[in-house]
Structure 1
Amino acid sequence: MQILFRKLICCVVIFIPFVCAGQNITRGPYLQAGSKTSITIRWRTDVPTDSRVGIGTTAGSYPISVTDNNNVTEHIIQVSGLNPNTKYYYTTGTTSLVLQGDAQNFFVTAPADSSKRKITAAVFGDCGRNDNNYQTNSLARYQNYLQNNGLAAADLMLLLGDNAYPNGTDAEYTTGFFMPYENSILKNHILFPAPGNHEYANNAARQDDHNIAYYDIFTVPTGGQSGGIASNNEAYYSYDWGNIHFLSLDSYGEEDAGTTRLYDTNGTQVQWIKADLAANTKKWTIAYWHHPPYTMGSHNSDTENDLVAFREKFIQILERNGVDLILCGHSHNYERSYLLNGYYGNENSFSKASHTRDSSSGRYDGSTQSCPYTYKSGKYQHGTVYVVAGSAGASGSVQAGYPHNALPFAYNDGGMLMLEIEDNRLDARFIRQDGVIADKFTIMKDVNRRDTVYIAQGNSINLRASWLGGYTWSNAAANRQIVVSPAANTTYTVKDSATNTCLQDTIAVKVFPANIAQHNKQNIKLYPVPGNDVLNLVLPDAASMDVTINIISLTGQTLQSTTSKTDNGGSTSIDISRLPANQQLLLKVYVRGIEQTAGFSIMR
């Protein structure tokens, strides 16, 4: 009996540590390479096991199961076939045991390309150490911001490089990055990283061969599976989220057999960037990498050769292609520019008059010169805002004369950047480590509109302000959209109620008499309306035909008769410069003797 008892004790002592070791997650889980229909979930265990992820739209219920029967310590599970813009909960573990998963394990897939819903992104630069408690405090204040604003998590988490110090080793990632973040935000923020010089251990050989832990730790969408053009390179990639296009770039590693960096415009990375931006159709474009083209924080963009090269050789490519926002780290402070345009020189060469599209602070808070930056959408040089956000963990000194003349909105303190983008409005906030919103700025596109619309007498029409915010209409309404039914031509204005000076739409409602309205037919298209000196017609059913066009007054008098030949698309134009101005008229078109009628007006 004694012998048997000892054997049992021996078995227990040996067996328990083995079972416990095989059940431990030592890293993660964390979310990677998200898209509208897929996600990659990663975690690490202390001994090799098989892998299983459970997925469901309700916490506690996980009907979707994805498994990998290979025994590994680095678990990488891709889940596909998901629905866009959907919140999913998940668990991670083995095929026989759930190791981790609760109501805080969730993600939201990317919305449809046409979506205008709010997208949120948490930006952490140089976050891989805890100088002066910057890392601890910045994370806590960010979590407070989420809670205070009713947000469970940001859609995305962007890393600006130097995510682990000093050499970016796997062990340094464990202590400097995963341990601080994995139990809070990594399990519910989809992570899109960029590397910094510390990922490469500031080592020339590693710059060339890319033999660094970063590329083993992260899974990024190199094949274009999250949107954008495939880069086929883990160092740089792009992705889409709703109406935003993001580019994550590598500013330290070398390409082309160690001969080019990001500032070499003939290099592989920049050639891919050009192709990617040429294919981009999103309303917003945001690029991020580690080394800033402008800074006077812990680094000096006037004297450091690589920063000079980025500024002089590279960024104009992005500006020409309509990039709205550029985010960098490396310099351990916060700095933010005006809406810059065509500024590529040193600090002393900066001219506010010459190098800004808008020299407002952009804060949109009612203070002096604080209106939001506004411009039309499109891939043209409309101006770009530059942000250095390199103090989510690291602290440093600043240069003499700080801040940089072109980046006057600056704080030598810890913090992170929060982006919120909805439809045509972008808001950014620097959440300082003490919880204060130390800086903020707003960009709006396609606002301050002047439009003309037409209705028939007795009808109503919906008018809508072009921005998200507050509203004061000329008829005293306060909603974004109003319904009006004027009896005569009326001009309506709407201003932003926040300042009453920054934004204004003007909408002229032109009212056609009923006898014109009843003649308008969809098979005649006229432009411009109102007409001026030339009136263009499109007759889809009359391609390459002779047509007779009569213009008649409301009293029935024929004012002009013209014979014209349409092109193969049914288009033609007529000269109306001799007709009297400010008239409402009828246009009758005869094709093969069949009459078609439309109403129009002339305004000069």
Structure 2
Amino acid sequence: MKRSSWKITLFFIACSWAGINLAKTARADVLLPRGAEWKYEASGANLGSAWRETGYDDSDWLSGDAMLGFGENYIVTTLPSGHITYYFRVAFNFNGDPNEIETLMLLADYDDGFVAYLNGQEVTRQEMPSGNITSTTTASSHESGDFEEIDISDYKHALVQGDNLLAVEVHQSSAGSSDLAIDIELFTGTGGGGGNPPGLTRGPYLQMGTPTSIVVRWRTDSPSDSRVRYGTDPTALNQVVDKSELTKEHEVLLTGLSPQTWYYYAIGNTNGITYSGSDYYFRTAPPDGTRQKTRIWILGDSGTANNDARAVRDAYYAFTDTTHTNLWVMLGDNAYSSGTDPQYQAAVFDMYPTMLSKSVLWPAFGNHDAGSASSNPPEGVFYDIFTLPASGEAGGLSSGTEAYYSFDYANIHFICLNSHDIPRSATGPMNTWLQQDLQNNNREWTIAFWHHPPYSKGSHNSDTEGRMVEMRENSVPILENGGTDLVLSGHSHSYERSFLLDGHYGTSGTLNNSMIKDGGDGREDGDGAYFKATPGPASHEGTVYVVAGSSGKTSGGQLNHPAMYVSLNTLGSVVVDVYRNRMDLTFLDDNGDRQDYFTMFKGSTTVGIATVVSTFAGEAFDGGATLNWQTRSENRLAGFEILRATELNGNYQMVASYVTNPALKAAGNTSVPQTYHFTDNGLVNGAVYWYKLVSVSYSGEKNYYGPLRLAPASVFANALNNGEIPSRMELHSNYPNPFNPNTTIRFDLPATSAGFYEVRMDVYDIRGSRVKTFLNGKFAPGSYALEWDGTNERGNPVPSGIYIYSLRANDQQFAKRMILVR
């Protein structure tokens, strides 16, 4: 079993390039990261006070990664319920000088209360009474779900150079409590050049992305200047943009970027305060008009900041998996109930931090956003938070206002209208601009979005509600004349999706067959995909209308509008995938199930299908790795190639191809999902591998997926090295010796030009008969430990006696004795 201290050290080495500084105080050193491995005792026993001390023997405690607890869907290690008190210990290393620390901070996410001890000294208690604490002491009620910052600088003298111990006892409000949770981060703070450093309180988040530019925004709790460091190599952020203005609301424009390129970045100020993380990256938009695969995530009325919104979010994250979200859209009512700044913090910035930091968000203005903002002129919270293209900065025609705007991405033209507090008359400024914008548009696809839907019988009725009526009567004719393909709205807290429509501008009762261009389901496996004959924008060839207002709650309604093919009172979000002349729309519910879908083609008289790889994942094992992927559909697909490298940005070599491996041959042409697998054997335990999946068409066109990181590890031997490679090969004496029933065996492998050793380790009895083979495979240089429980190959206990354990690494062999005493 791995010791916690090793895991923590490895985490810090792996992440130190990025300076992962995500709390509200600037950090000099993360001593204990979130998600660390802890020892725990969860039997309900009364351990007194000795367990808090550094010398306490916790070797018989179990271990697991945080978050630890039960009763919450974000628990990583599940503990048994039914007790008041649970005990936790974690070792960590501090290499600095304790006298130079300015602040010592905890970030804790917990339920219900806890007391923390650093090297045996109490440093904080939260939701716990004063006085003596016992195993029967109950806590006040406190819910987990957010990390809270706790200053323990008064106890920084308890920190020592070298090995340290953090011990925590978590108490419930009662033994019958339905949930328990604990995860803690420990870090030291610095002054950042004098005074109090600015702490990161919001973001970063990306705005107004183009092929050559992007806006990076964030908020701090005190004014400072702004700096963004960025580059195409995550280990070398060698480009810098500074802004000298002292502000809490930081907004930095990066220009001169290369189209369709991955960039990594860090934010901070010129005093050396830096924040970055594993999700601080983005991909610039492709050159205008590029017919590439584009994934768009649509959220409507998502601003509830509750578990429903989290479930919808998590369902999409699981669905998109390793497929990058090129951009995402909010359809209004982004923060309930009145769009205040704290409500935006809870409903947007605390809800979607990783998506905000790596994909550009394009928002629409809803009626609840209007509780703290107005659009004529644009002012208030909504317009303070977002940076939107008023002057055509991202493509499209300049609107002169952030209240409505357009932008281009690849071969798609997007239009965002304001259906709430901008005049909606046919000849007003917005619809006049809309007509001109569409006249200038030549993109293959056109998607429009706003808040109030033109067709709905959900929680709002488009026959009677004024804004909905005006958008249908005044804006929809302009959009259909301009060749718009898809319209997305929210407002009604449901999902409704129309047939392919044109010319329906009256109430629901006026719909007739001449207004339905295609009355089918739009599905390739049903009535057939929707088809529009002209490749680009063409008047009155049909539009699909989608109400997607159930990303935060559902509110029912009649759900019987005759223009709709499907109407659902179901939580969910919409995923739009565009590739060349094909568009696929999926309604994904909060459980990750596909509740509706359709396909639309443009410009070809022969309706084909596109190749869509929907998932790419893998799992490492002892000496190997298995890759798994699925296609949602295939079009003239010959097969797949597997590429492998030993570094993220290293030299990827082909390790398998459909040409020689029948398992990698594709189905060719199909709309039925296909599942594929590949197993890569003979890998080196302790090493890290990166994989890319390549799909190859009949004509040789290739598309790349990944990379995917996998690290094979032995079933028996755990890697112990903290980044340091041993200087010589050594087989250590087992400990304890004599032993009963378990003993630990360690061995060291120094650096080698081959990069790995062929390792075998066996146990023999005193007569020379082999009792058990532990290891027989490839191992990278490093230090390893394995545990023997005194059993043979069949798992049966062996008798007391002297046993020989032997290590052979390439042409070198070592052996030592150990004594088993039953």
| TM-score, scaled to structure 2 | 0.51
Match of residue 251, structure 2, among 76, 79, 85: 76
- Does residue 1:363 correspond to 2:363, yes or no? no
Higher relative contact order, chain-length normalized (CA < 8 Å, sep 6+): 1
**1:225 aligns with one of 393, 409, 414:** 393
Q: Which residue among 524, 549, 560 is the counterpart of 1:390?
A: 549
Distance, in Å, in 1 between the alignment partners of 2:212 and 2:671 is 39
- Paired with 1:114 and 1:317, the residues of 2 have a C-alpha distance of 23
Residue 89 of structure 1 contacts residue 103 of structure 1 at CA under 8 Å; is this kept in 2?
Answer: no
Aligned to 1:138: 312
Aligned counterparts of 2:463 and 2:221: Cα–Cα separation in 1? 47
Maintained 8 Å contact 1:59/1:103:
no
SS in 1 for 2:475: helix
Gaps of 5+ in 2: 1-98, 104-152, 155-187, 613-634, 639-667, 673-822
Counterparts of residues 194-233 of structure 1 (less than 5 Å): 194-201=364-371, 206=374, 208=376, 210-233=378-401
Deviation per CA, 1:123-166, whole angstroms, max 9, x where unpaired? 111111145x220001000100111xx31x31101111111111
The reply to whether residue 431 of structure 1 matches residue 591 of structure 2 is no
Aligned length: 437
Q: What is the distance in 2 between the residues matched to 1:266 and 1:135?
A: 38
Name the structure with the higher strand share. 2
2:326 is aligned, of 132, 140, 155, to 155
2:64 is aligned to none
| Aligned residue identity for 2:610 | L
Contact 2:500 2:518 in 1 (8 A): yes
Give the corresponding residue for 2:448: 287
1:417 to 574, 589, 592: 574
Aligned to 2:751: none
Q: 1:43 aligns with which of 215, 218, 222?
A: 218
Whether 1:125 and 2:125 are equivalent positions in the alignment is no
Q: CA deviation at 1:466?
A: 6.4
> Cα–Cα, structure 1 residues 41 and 202, in superposed 2: closer, same or farther, change >3 Å?
closer
Give the Cα–Cα distance (whole angstroms) in 2 for the partners of residues 297 and 189 of structure 1.
31
- Match of 2:224, as an amino acid? T
The AA in structure 1 aligned to 2:520 is: S
Q: Is the 8 A contact 1:124 1:158 kept in 2?
A: yes
Residue 435 of structure 1: CA displacement? 0.7
Q: Does 1:250 align with 2:418?
A: yes
Q: Distance in 1 between matches of 2:239 and 2:376?
A: 42
Residue pairs, 1:343-492, within 5 angstroms: 343-351=504-512, 353-364=513-524, 366-367=525-526, 369-377=527-535, 378-399=537-558, 402-449=559-606, 468-469=610-611, 479=636
Contact 1:107 1:188 in 2 (8 A): yes
**One-letter code of the match for 2:406?**
S
Question: Partner of 1:574 in structure 2?
Answer: none
Residue 211 (structure 1) shift: 3.4
Deviation at 1:479, TM superposition (A): 3.2
SS in 1 for 2:392: coil
Task: Please state whether the residue corresponding to 1:408 is helix, strand or coil.
Answer: strand
User: How many Å separate the matches in 2 of 1:114 and 1:496?
Assistant: 27
Contact 1:60 1:103 in 2 (8 A): no
Please state whether the residue corresponding to 1:303 is helix, strand or coil. Answer: coil
Q: Is the 8 A contact 1:375 1:447 kept in 2?
A: yes
1:185 aligns to 2:344 (yes or no): no
- Answer yes or no: is the 8 Å Cα contact 1:340–1:356 preserved in 2: yes
Q: Which residue of 1 aligns with 2:201?
A: 26
- The question of whether the paired residues in 2 share the 8 Å contact of 1:210 and 1:253 is answered with no
Pairwise CA distance, 1:240: 0.6
State the distance in 1 between where 2:403 and 2:494 align. 25
Q: Which residue of 2 aligns with 1:165?
A: 336
Residue identity in the other structure for 2:283: V
Identity %: 37
Distance 2:189 2:206 in 1: 31
Q: Is the CA contact (8 Å cut-off) linking 1:27 and 1:44 kept in structure 2? A: yes
In structure 1, C-alpha distance between the alignment counterparts of 2:671 and 2:378, rounded to whole Å: 50
CA contact (8 A) 2:209 2:215 kept: yes
Q: Indicate the RMSD between aligned Cα atoms, in angstroms.
A: 2.7
In 1, the alpha carbon distance for the partners of 2:196 and 2:547 equals: 43
User: Aligned match of 1:316 in 471, 477, 482?
Assistant: 477
Shift of residue 174 of structure 1? 1.1
AA aligned to 1:294 is Y
Mapped contact 2:197–2:273 kept (Cα < 8 A): no
Shift of 1:446: 1.3
Report the AA paired with residue 137 of structure 1: A
Distance in 1, Cα, partners of 2:243 & 2:375? 34
Q: Distance in 2 between matches of 1:98 and 1:198?
A: 36
Q: 1:355 deviation in Å?
A: 1.4
Q: Is the 8 A contact 1:221 1:238 kept in 2?
A: yes
Q: In structure 2, the residue corresponding to 1:88 is in which secondary structure?
A: strand
Amino acid of the structure 1 residue aligned with 2:604: V
Alignment partners' CA distance in 2, 1:467 and 1:238 = 29
Deviations 1:39-69 (A, max 9, x none): 0000000001111111111223211111112
Alignment deviations for residues 265-304 of structure 1 (CA, whole Å, 9 cap, x no partner): 1111111111111111100001100000000111011121
CA distance in structure 1 between the aligned counterparts of 2:385 and 2:443, rounded to whole angstroms:
30
SS in 2 for 1:312: helix
Distance of aligned partners of 1:497 and 1:436 in 2 relative to their CA distance in 1, 3 Å threshold: closer
Answer whether contact 2:496 2:566 (CA < 8 A) is retained. yes
Q: Letter of the 1:219 partner, please give it.
A: T
Give the Å deviation of 1:448. Answer: 2.0
Q: Secondary structure at the match of 1:104?
A: coil
- Does structure 2 retain, via aligned residues, the 8 Å contact 1:134–1:391? no
Amino acid at match of 2:239: I
**Worse-superposed segment, 426-435 or 342-351:** 342-351
Higher helix share: 1
Report the CA distance between 1:118 and its aligned residue.
0.5
SS at match of 1:214: helix
The answer to whether the 8 Å contact 1:32/1:190 transfers is yes
Opposite residue 406 of structure 1, the aligned amino acid is A
Matched residue SS, 2:338: coil
What is the distance in 1 between the residues matched to 2:335 and 2:362?
Answer: 15
Aligned to 2:779: none
**Residues 77-96 of structure 1: matches in 2 within 5 Å?**
77-96=252-271
Cα distance in 2, alignment partners of residues 497 and 446 from structure 1: 21
Please say if residues 327 and 360 of structure 2, whose CA atoms lie closer than 8 Å, have aligned partners that are also in contact: yes
Match of 2:645 in 1: none
Mapped to 1, the partners of 2:445 and 2:529 lie a distance apart of 19
Please say if residues 168 and 212 of structure 1, whose CA atoms lie closer than 8 Å, have aligned partners that are also in contact.
no
Displacement of 1:363:
2.2
Say which SS state the counterpart of residue 235 (structure 2) adopts. Answer: coil
**Separation in 1 of the partners of 2:671 and 2:455?**
32
CA distance in 1, matches of 2:542, 2:273: 50
In the alignment, the residues of structure 1 paired with residue 554 and residue 196 of structure 2 have an alpha-carbon distance, to the nearest angstrom, of 37
Q: What per-residue deviation string (whole Å, max 9, x for no partner) do you get for residues 306-338 of structure 1? A: 211211222011001100000001111111000
